[in-house]
């Protein structure tokens, strides 16, 4: 039987979790399809872990996870072949979503060992390979017919500054081959997922040289392990980089190359070509070499919202089950969910998870549209996509990381146990702050775009839609009540002011420093603040537009709850930006008070539906993987059962008693 407090929460809710789940999944059919697929695996004993993966050694975890991943792919293939219509894995995007979503997370709490093959290797083949190269490589790679790939860009010495990468590919005209080398220790590739023991082909990003002349960074398909024996190919020094803070199911590796020859056709040549005679033919858009990173950053916004919502579900359910510290003197101990400060920890995080996912959907549509335009030779919207994907990736991953920590701490001591699953969720989310572009660096990329747009705005040029607000210099009008559109304008106004101030500061610095990078460096703190405010303004506008749609589309009770969440989300953004808002708009103390009171009232109003909303994310217990977050709320039983599984409890007395403790107590050591 379910814990009585959780039962009461579910009965008292004003909306149905099933209605919520249907909306969240994108409709009834999508929800059912996902559940059917989850069931297929969740009810298969082959996919039940014999012991908690956190109890496995690093090597055991790799071997176990890889074996499971292979069974998973094989079963998925059978299932797909049996399906009459094209469904869940019809496209690479959907397949990637499946891995990063419910099913992938339920089965691979430490991440999926073949992740890089699907998330970067295949997308790079599509984005950087010519049609002929795709025919030769993509189909086989999709079927994993002799090919398991990874994306090897980062080196020991450089990850961010791509122009500083040292791996080189020298073209040998006589043999029509490239010769790949990592000429120093710092040139060793370092980090690529799956590179250690899993992958046998790597897309290696290397500096191209023809007759000693440098032609920039390009992708090369390099076989690193023999397809039959899996032994490293001659000239290849490959291995694994060791245990990490999280994501230990992914086998990150290092790679050194010494005079490794590959045929000319193995440079991916969609965006630039080397002809047999050594002639380099530049593509129409050199920046497309960075295209895989744009795709991956867009995906990350969605991934981190998933981790955040897992954590929010665990903490919210636990807060309904846990009772502590009377609020009224003569009353019993309340559910900790009734403490206002607890609500302030939980509910904004639920709202963030929802609106980050909605923003991820928007930026994914934008990605698809820009990809189509680029295919037709039109690059007009690429800078906006790059800027938006950079700042959303950076902002949402940083916020999600912070949120997971808030949620962990909101569960008190029990949140610190591995069995709560917060450590693994944190390990996954925090990694996203670094990979695919370290967050500060990405915010600087966005700021560079914003300052340019600000200058264009001064010249009254038409601006891309996500930054049109930069041309609207009028401060918002404050009405009697707090309206969403006023809050959105407040954030946009604060962002505009911050960008203006960074621009002015750069102008001053230019009088002191001659070089533009020096000026950027001096203005760095202001620039990243501007990009952060832009992210907030974008997310707020997007959320308020979504709220308008939901009011029209959904049942009134459900729409009302989502509007509450929208308000919580936007008010939280405003309160987090208060310093910057006050620099641009003279809010008086009564107006600030109005914001705070509205925020507190919303927390109170949302309280009754909190458990139902997190139920509506429809995470199975396996996805949550947590003693604290299970649907039935049997927290204490699970905590004890999990503790009993510890190998240290297998025997009543550990041998160290005889060998160490006893001699110590007897003074015989
Ligand atoms: C499961 C986990 C898997 C993980 C995998 C990984 O981590 S894989 C490893 C992931 N590794 C990383 O993510 C590494 C992170 N580092 C980088 O992405 C880049 O090196 C950089 C962007 C930091 C700087 O690069 P730079 O010094 O060469 O460039 P610059 O600053 O001089 O700008 C020149 C112009 O280019 C523009 N532009 C730049 N990028 C893009 C783009 N993608 N698209 C479009 N445009 C782009 C920029 O806006 C500027 O335009 P403007 O203003 O002149 O019109
Ligand atoms: C879990 C994980 C998986 C990964 N998977 C892959 C993979 O599959 N393939 C792959 O190729 N790589 C992968 N990477 C590598 C990853 O992409 C890089 O670590 C990342 O791009 C950051 O680069 P870096 O390590 O060189 O950091 P650094 O650039 O050295 O960052 C260190 C500090 O310097 C600061 N800094 C650097 N440059 C600037 C600047 N211009 N302005 C201001 N501050 C700056 C940063 O903000 C940061 O604070 C992975 C990394 C992790 C953690």
Residues of the binding site: 154, 193
C-alpha dist (Å) from residue 2 to 13, 577, 621: 16, 41, 13
List, for residues 408-421, the tens digit of each pLDDT value. 999 999 999 999 99
CATH number of 134's domain: 2.40.110.10
Does any domain span residue 635? Answer: no
List, for residues 572-585, the tens digit of each pLDDT value. 999 999 999 999 99
pLDDT at residue 89, as a whole number = 43
Does any domain span residue 613? Answer: no
User: Residue 566: pLDDT above 70?
Assistant: yes
Q: How many domains does the chain contain in total?
A: 3
Q: Is 445 helix (H, G, I), strand (E, B) or coil?
A: helix
User: Residue 475: pLDDT above 90?
Assistant: no
pLDDT at residue 91, as a whole number = 63
User: Residue 248: pLDDT above 90?
Assistant: yes
Ligand 1 atom 24, closest CA = 161
Confirm or reject: Cβ of 121 under 6 Å from ligand 2.
no
Confirm or reject: Cβ of 154 under 6 Å from ligand 2.
yes
pLDDT at residue 441, as a whole number = 98
Give residues with Cβ within 8 angstroms of 469, minimum separation 6. Answer: 492, 495, 496, 537, 541
Ligand 2 atom 48, closest CA = 438
Confirm or reject: Cβ of 116 under 6 Å from ligand 2.
yes
CA of residue 290 to ligand 1 center, whole Å: 6
Residues of the binding site for FAD: 154, 193
On whether the CB atoms of residues 346 and 318 are closer than 8 A, the answer is no
> Do 271 and 364 have their domain in common?
no
Does any domain span residue 209? Answer: yes
On whether the CB atoms of residues 155 and 189 are closer than 8 A, the answer is yes
pTM of the model: 0.96
Confirm or reject: Cβ of 244 under 6 Å from ligand 1.
no
pLDDT at residue 82, as a whole number = 62
On whether the CB atoms of residues 396 and 363 are closer than 8 A, the answer is no
> Do 137 and 258 have their domain in common?
yes
CA of residue 159 to ligand 1 center, whole Å: 11
CA of residue 446 to ligand 2 center, whole Å: 17
The rounded distance, in Å, linking the Cα atoms of 589 and 85 is 60
The rounded distance, in Å, linking the Cα atoms of 307 and 101 is 9
Percentage of the chain lying above the pLDDT 70 cut: 98
The residue whose CB lies within 8 Å of the most ligand 1 atoms, and thus the one to mutate among 293, 385, 428, 527, is 293
> Do 94 and 162 have their domain in common?
no
On whether the CB atoms of residues 397 and 304 are closer than 8 A, the answer is yes
User: Residue 81: pLDDT above 90?
Assistant: no
Ligand 2 atom 29, closest CA = 160
Q: Which ligand is nearest to the CA of 243?
A: 2
Atom of ligand 1 nearest to the CA of 437: 13
> Do 250 and 316 have their domain in common?
no
Give residues with Cβ within 8 angstroms of 247, minimum separation 6. Answer: 110, 111, 427, 428, 431
List, for residues 10-53, the tens digit of each pLDDT value. 999 999 999 999 999 999 999 998 999 889 888 899 998 888 78
> Do 250 and 338 have their domain in common?
no
CA of residue 438 to ligand 2 center, whole Å: 5
Q: Which ligand is nearest to the CA of 254?
A: 2
Confirm or reject: Cβ of 193 under 6 Å from ligand 2.
yes
> Do 172 and 261 have their domain in common?
yes
The DSSP 8-state label assigned to residue 121 in this structure reads I
The rounded distance, in Å, linking the Cα atoms of 429 and 608 is 29
> Do 273 and 301 have their domain in common?
no
Q: Is 434 helix (H, G, I), strand (E, B) or coil?
A: coil
Last residue of a domain, one of 414, 431, 448: 431
**Mean pLDDT within 625-646:** 96
Atom of ligand 2 nearest to the CA of 436: 17
Does any domain span residue 641? Answer: no
The rounded distance, in Å, linking the Cα atoms of 155 and 186 is 6
pLDDT at residue 83, as a whole number = 57
> Do 318 and 416 have their domain in common?
yes
Find the helix packing angle between 556-576 and 589-606, rounded to 10°: 140
Atom of ligand 2 nearest to the CA of 151: 9
List, for residues 139-157, the tens digit of each pLDDT value. 899 889 999 999 999 999 9
283 vs 217, residue with greater confidence: 217
Last residue of a domain, one of 409, 431, 453: 431
Q: Which ligand is nearest to the CA of 164?
A: 1
Active site positions, annotated: 436
Give residues with Cβ within 8 angstroms of 477, minimum separation 6. Answer: 486
List, for residues 83-110, the tens digit of each pLDDT value. 544 443 456 777 777 787 888 888 888 8
633 vs 286, residue with greater confidence: 633
Does any domain span residue 646? Answer: no
The rounded distance, in Å, linking the Cα atoms of 308 and 304 is 6
Does any domain span residue 619? Answer: no
Confirm or reject: Cβ of 157 under 6 Å from ligand 2.
no
CA of residue 445 to ligand 1 center, whole Å: 8
On whether the CB atoms of residues 531 and 617 are closer than 8 A, the answer is no
Does any domain span residue 626? Answer: no
Does any domain span residue 410? Answer: yes
pLDDT at residue 666, as a whole number = 97
> Do 11 and 134 have their domain in common?
no
Q: Please, which residues bridge with residue 219 across strands?
A: 205
Question: Is the predicted ipTM greater than 0.95, yes or no?
Answer: yes
Ligand 2 atom 26, closest CA = 159
C-alpha dist (Å) from residue 371 to 292, 376, 380: 11, 9, 11
> Do 259 and 298 have their domain in common?
no
Range of the domain at 108: 4-112+292-431
Q: Which ligand is nearest to the CA of 520?
A: 2
Confirm or reject: Cβ of 186 under 6 Å from ligand 2.
no
> Do 156 and 85 have their domain in common?
no
User: Residue 359: pLDDT above 70?
Assistant: yes
The rounded distance, in Å, linking the Cα atoms of 419 and 520 is 45
CATH number of 90's domain: 1.20.140.10
Last residue of a domain, one of 563, 587, 611: 587
> Do 404 and 450 have their domain in common?
no
Confirm or reject: Cβ of 160 under 6 Å from ligand 2.
yes
Give residues with Cβ within 8 angstroms of 305, minimum separation 6. Answer: 352, 353, 354, 356, 357, 360, 396, 400
């Amino acid at each position: 039987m379910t814990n009585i407090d959780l039962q009461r929460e579910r009965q008292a809710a004003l909306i149905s979790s099933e209605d919520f789940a249907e909306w969240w999944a994108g409709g009834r059919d999508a929800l059912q399809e996902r559940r059917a697929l989850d069931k297929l695996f969740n009810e298969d004993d082959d996919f039940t872990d014999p012991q908690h993966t956190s109890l496995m050694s690093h090597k055991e975890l790799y071997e176990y996870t890889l074996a499971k991943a292979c069974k998973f792919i094989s079963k998925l293939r059978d299932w797909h072949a049996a399906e009459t219509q094209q469904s869940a894995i019809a496209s690479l995007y959907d397949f990637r979503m499946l891995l990063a979503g419910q099913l992938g997370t339920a089965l691979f709490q430490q991440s999926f060992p073949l992740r890089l093959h699907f998330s970067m290797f295949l997308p790079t083949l599509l984005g950087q390979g010519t049609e002929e190269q795709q025919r030769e490589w993509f189909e086989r790679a999709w079927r994993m017919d002799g090919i398991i790939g990874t994306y090897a860009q980062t080196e020991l010495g450089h990850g961010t500054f791509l122009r500083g990468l040292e791996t080189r590919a020298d073209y040998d005209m006589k043999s029509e081959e490239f010769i790949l080398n990592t000429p120093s220790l710092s040139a060793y590739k370092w980090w690529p997922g799956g590179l250690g023991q899993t992958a046998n082909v790597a897309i290696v990003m290397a500096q191209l040289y023809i007759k000693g002349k440098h032609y920039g960074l390009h992708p090369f398909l390099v076989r690193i392990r023999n397809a039959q024996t899996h032994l490293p190919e001659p000239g290849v020094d490959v291995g694994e980089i060791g245990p990490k803070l999280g994501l230990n199911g992914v086998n990150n590796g290092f790679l050194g190359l010494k005079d490794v020859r590959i045929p000319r056709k193995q440079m991916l040549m969609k965006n630039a070509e080397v002809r047999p005679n050594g002639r380099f033919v530049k593509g129409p858009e050199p920046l497309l070499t960075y295209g895989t990173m744009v795709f991956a950053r867009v995906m990350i916004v969605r991934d981190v919202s998933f981790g955040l919502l897992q954590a929010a579900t665990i903490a919210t359910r636990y807060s309904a089950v846990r009772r502590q510290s009377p609020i009224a003197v003569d009353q019993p101990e309340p559910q900790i969910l009734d403490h206002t400060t607890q609500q302030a920890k939980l509910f904004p995080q639920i709202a963030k998870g929802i609106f980050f996912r909605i923003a991820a959907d928007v930026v994914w549509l934008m990605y698809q549209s820009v990809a189509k335009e680029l295919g037709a030779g039109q690059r007009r919207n690429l800078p906006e996509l790059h800027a938006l994907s950079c700042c959303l990736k950076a902002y949402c991953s940083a916020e999600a990381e912070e949120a997971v920590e808030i949620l962990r701490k909101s569960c008190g001591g029990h949140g610190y146990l591995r069995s709560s699953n917060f450590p693994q969720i944190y390990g996954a989310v925090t990694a996203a702050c670094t990979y695919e572009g370290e967050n500060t660096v990405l915010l600087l990329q966005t700021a560079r775009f914003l300052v340019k747009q600000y200058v264009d705005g001064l010249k009254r040029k038409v601006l891309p839609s996500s930054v049109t607000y930069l041309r609207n210099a009028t401060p918002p009008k404050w009405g009697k009540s707090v309206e969403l559109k006023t809050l959105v304008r407040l954030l946009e106004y604060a962002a505009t002011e911050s960008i203006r101030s960074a621009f002015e500061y750069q102008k001053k610095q230019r009088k002191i420093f001659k070089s533009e990078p020096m000026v950027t460096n001096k203005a760095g703190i202001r620039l990243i603040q501007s990009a952060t405010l832009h992210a907030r303004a974008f997310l707020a506008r997007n959320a308020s537009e979504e709220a308008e749609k939901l009011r029209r589309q959904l049942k009134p009770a459900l729409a009302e709850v989502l509007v509450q969440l929208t308000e919580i989300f936007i008010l939280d953004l405003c309160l987090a930006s208060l310093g910057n808002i006050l620099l641009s708009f003279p809010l008086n103390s009564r107006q600030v008070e109005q914001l705070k009171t509205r925020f507190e009232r919303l927390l109170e109003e949302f309280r009754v539906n909190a458990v139902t909303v997190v139920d509506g994310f429809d995470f199975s217990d396996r996805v949550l993987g947590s003693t604290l977050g299970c649907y039935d709320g049997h927290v204490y039983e699970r905590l004890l059962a999990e503790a009993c599984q510890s190998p240290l409890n297998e025997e009543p007395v550990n041998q160290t008693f005889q060998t160490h403790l006893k001699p110590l107590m007897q003074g015989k050591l």
